[in-house]
Structure 1
C-alpha cells in the first residue's frame, strides 16, 4: 500500500475545495495535478478514477489522496448519481511517500517515537469508519470564510482535518483488529436508534452487564455509552441542518430527541451554537456539478508562501479548475 507522510510543524496551505454533485453517466475531467495535493471524500455513488496508470474505484465513505505531478482522469462513467467533497492544499514541508504493508505500518503510527515527529501518515485510499462525523468536519472547513489579520483559519482547519483523518485511520484499525466487540455494540446502537433508547436496553441486547459495557466502551472510545448516544444524535442533527431545509422541530424528531426544547438545549451544549446559528454559519459552501466550473482566483498568500516553481504550477488552476 502506498502512503504519504505530511510534516505539520507548519500548517498546510488551504487552496480550494467544495462539494461536487453529478447525475449518472458522469466521469472526472482529465487534468494534471501540479504542486498541490487533493483529498476526495465520496459521500454517495461510485467514482472511477485513474491516477497516472493506476485505476481506483472510490466507493461511499472512502477517502482518496491524489499527489501532485500526476495525471488524473475518470476512466469510466458512473452508473448512479455521485456526491463528494473535494479539497486542495499545499504542504509547507517536504512530503515523504513510501510503500509498505499495512500490518507493518499501523504499529509504527501508534508509537510515541513516531508521534514526536509531527508526522501525519495516510494511505492513498482508505475507508472512513465515522463518515457522518467526517462529513461534518469537511463541511465546516469548506464553509469557513473568516480571516483574522495574517492568519488564514482554513489553513489550520485543513491541518486539523489531516490529523482527524490520521486518528480515524489508526483508531479504526485498532478496533477492527482488537475490539470487534465494541464495533458490534456501536453497530447495534446505530441500527436501533430511537428517542427512548437507553444504556440498560443496549446492555441487555448486546448481552453485557451495564457497568462492564460502560467501562469497556469508555476505554476503547473515550466516551461513555450515553455520551456516544448523544454524539450520534448531534451528528445526525448537524447533517440535517447542513444538508436539508427541514425545520428545527422536524430535525429534533428525526434525530431522536424527545422534545424540540431538549434538542435545542443539548445542541447548544455540544456545539456552542443554537441549531439556527449553526445552520446559518456553516450552510454555505462552494457547490458545483458537471455543468458548472467555478473560477477561483489564486490567493496571493499562496504565491508568497511557496517557491516560484510551485507558484507557476498554481496558475494552472486559473484555467483548469474542474474537480
Structure 2
C-alpha cells in the first residue's frame, strides 16, 4: 500500500516521543484515530496492524494508517524507536494506491506534482538527517506564540523528507547507473571514517581515484563539494550533541571532528544560520526515557559518556 498526501492539506502534529525499553516489552492493543509514524532506532518492534504483521528494524519507517487497530504480537527487549502521531484536515483527500515496481520507478522519475507519497514500510537512506529533524520537532516549546504552527510545519517537512528518501530508494532500485552506486559507497565511507584530518586525497585513495576526479565527480552528482558534505556531516554530529548533552561548545567542536573552535563556529553558522549556543537554547533538551541510547551519528565514545544518566521521562502512552 502507498499513501498519497496532498501538498495543499496542512499536516497536523498531535503527539510524539522517543520510546525505549531494556526489559521485555510488547505493544498493547489500541485503536488509532490518526496516523502514526514509527522510526526504528535499535532492536526490533513486532507490530500487528489490523490483520497484517510487521517487524520494524533499525533505520526503518512504518506508517500506521488511519483508522487502524495496532497491537504487539511478540515481546522484545532493548528496543528504541521514535513515535509520531499526525492527522490531516480532510482524511478523505488521502489516496491509497497499489503500484508495481515499474510504476513506482516511473513515478519517482516524473515526480509528484500535487502529492507526496509514503509506503507502509521502507528503509531510510539517511537516518541521521531524519533523527535530527525528529529531535527538533520534539523540542518545540509549548509556550512559543507559534507553537502549533511550528510543530505542524516541522511535521510536514519531516514527512516530505521521508517521501524524498523513499523516492530516492526507488530510483536506486530502478537504475543501473554505476555512478549513483559509487556515490552511495563514497558517502557511506565518509560517515564511517569521519575524523578531524579526513582529506579528499585520503578518500580518493580508498576508491582508487585521483583527488581531482573525485572532487569533480562528487560536485557533479551531489551538487556540493566533498568538503562541504564532510562539514555537513560534522555539523549533524554537533547538533545531536547540543540537543542530547550538556557539553560545552569547545568540547563539542572537538567531538564533532573539527580542528578548532573557530572553524566549528564558522561552519555551524554557515550550515544552520545560527550559533551553537543559540541552537541549543532554541531547541532545548529532548525528553526521552533513555538518554544512553547510541545514536545513528558517528559520535565518539567519549562524547557518549557525557550524556547525563537522568532525563525527564517522555513515556509512550
TM interval, short-chain normalised: 0.7 to 0.9
**Mapped partners of 2:212, 2:81: distance in 1:** 40
Q: Secondary structure at the match of 2:234?
A: helix
Shift of 1:235: 0.7
Per-residue Cα deviation, 1:87-140 (whole angstroms, up to 9, x for no partner):
1111124111122233421321331xx532x20011111111111111001111
The match for 1:293 is none
The match for 1:317 is none
- The answer to whether the 8 Å contact 2:244/2:285 transfers is no
1:123 maps onto 2:119 in alignment: yes
The match for 1:165 is 162
**Mapped partners of 1:188, 1:13: distance in 2:** 37
Instruction: Specify every segment of 5 or more residues in structure 2 that has no aligned partner in the other structure, as ranges.
Output: 291-314
Q: Secondary structure at the match of 2:28?
A: coil
**Mapped partners of 1:239, 1:144: distance in 2:** 16
**Mapped partners of 1:150, 1:23: distance in 2:** 33
Shift in alpha-carbon separation, 1:106–1:277, aligned structure 2, 3 A: same
The match for 2:84 is 87
- The answer to whether the 8 Å contact 2:18/2:316 transfers is no
- The answer to whether the 8 Å contact 1:217/1:223 transfers is yes
Among 40, 43, 47, the alignment partner of 1:42 is 40
The match for 1:52 is 50
- The answer to whether the 8 Å contact 1:29/1:322 transfers is no
Q: Secondary structure at the match of 2:191?
A: helix
Per-residue Cα deviation, 1:169-220 (whole angstroms, up to 9, x for no partner):
1123334543111111112212221111111221122112323322332233
Q: Point out 4+ residue stretches in structure 1 off by more than 6 angstroms.
A: none
The match for 1:188 is 189
Higher mean displacement: 142-151 or 218-227 = 142-151
The match for 2:141 is 145
Instruction: Specify every segment of 5 or more residues in structure 1 that has no aligned partner in the other structure, as ranges.
Output: 290-320
**Mapped partners of 1:96, 1:125: distance in 2:** 16
Count of matched residue pairs? 286
- The answer to whether the 8 Å contact 1:175/1:183 transfers is no
1:154 maps onto 2:151 in alignment: yes
- The answer to whether the 8 Å contact 2:19/2:316 transfers is no
- The answer to whether the 8 Å contact 2:108/2:170 transfers is no
Shift in alpha-carbon separation, 1:92–1:220, aligned structure 2, 3 A: farther
Q: TM-score, normalised by structure 1?
A: 0.82
**Mapped partners of 1:261, 1:43: distance in 2:** 33
Q: TM-score, normalised by structure 2?
A: 0.83
Shift in alpha-carbon separation, 1:82–1:243, aligned structure 2, 3 A: farther
The match for 1:63 is 61
Aligned alpha-carbon RMSD (Å): 2.2
The match for 1:106 is 105
Q: Secondary structure at the match of 1:14?
A: strand
**Mapped partners of 2:204, 2:103: distance in 1:** 35
Q: Secondary structure at the match of 2:136?
A: helix
